[in-house]
A = this chain, B = another copy of it.
Amino acid sequence: MRNDVAQGAVVWFTGLSGAGKSTLAGLLAAEVGRRGTRVEVLDGDEVRTNLSKGLGFSREDRDANIRRIGYVARLLARNGVHVITAAISPYRDVRDEVRRLVEADGAAFVEVFARCPIEVLAARDVKGLYARALRGEIPNFTGISDPYEEPPRPDVTVHSDRERPEESLARILAVLESRGLVASPDPAW
């Protein structure tokens, strides 16, 4: 059964590679769906395949990629769908530009900063990317050879170095509930 929360929302994760964006996006999507709201995840890698093949990792190309994710997220959100994005999105200006466009359409924009110290990410290094980047083998690697601009006022900050995913998820859901964007876990219907 669908619970028609009228307003669509974009939950926009931003943070370094390995900071937990995709994991949390997946957990959040499952829970939002369970609570009866239509939801789509736009993951960075999937979107690169479907919308941005041929774009590289220069600032210009990254911004173009983020604008495309923003465009699709906006179309969905203004039709009442919740959209969860999980791209690094390192540049503040283009994140803020997407927020303005989404909000101009009457949808909500919730920025979630997946914060994790780069030393922790480099030590963890699940995909072996940080080691390669630190050896200078990956140009334009965010946080090492390319900038990451932290959001000054994210709606939620999560810390994968010191909280379990379930805790981060609970805090994101609390914010969405407080803004009326998802139903409470035990609604009266």
Q: From A74, which residue of chain B is reached at the shortest CB distance?
A: B50
Which of A53, A71, A76, A79 lies at the interface centre, i.e. has the most chain B CB atoms within 10 A of its CB? A79
**Copies of this subunit:** 2
The residue that A40 contacts in the complex, of B51, B53, B54, B75, with Cβ under 8 A, is B75
Residues of B contacting A79 in the complex (Cβ-Cβ under 8 angstroms):
38, 40, 76, 79, 81
For window 40-77 of A, CB contacts with B under 8 Å fall at 40, 50-51, 53-54, 64, 67-68, 71-72, 75-76
Inter-subunit contact A64/B53 (CB<8 Å): yes
Inter-subunit contact B38/A80 (CB<8 Å): yes
For window 86-118 of A, CB contacts with B under 8 Å fall at none
The residue that A71 contacts in the complex, of B51, B54, B64, with Cβ under 8 A, is B51
Q: From A55, which residue of chain B is reached at the shortest CB distance?
A: B54
Would you give the shortest CB distance from A179 to chain B, in whole angstroms? 21
Query: What's the Cα separation between A71 and B81 when bound, in Å?
Result: 16
Would you give the shortest CB distance from A134 to chain B, in whole angstroms? 32
Closest 8 CB pairs of A and B: A50-B71, A79-B81, A38-B79, A72-B72, A51-B68, A40-B75, A51-B51, A75-B76
Spell out A's residues near B (CB within 8 Å): 2, 4, 38, 40, 50-51, 53-54, 64, 67-68, 71-72, 75-76, 79-81
15 A-B pairs with CB atoms under 8 Å apart are A4-B4, A40-B75, A40-B79, A50-B71, A51-B51, A51-B72, A53-B64, A54-B54, A54-B64, A72-B72, A75-B76, A76-B76, A76-B81, A79-B79, A81-B81
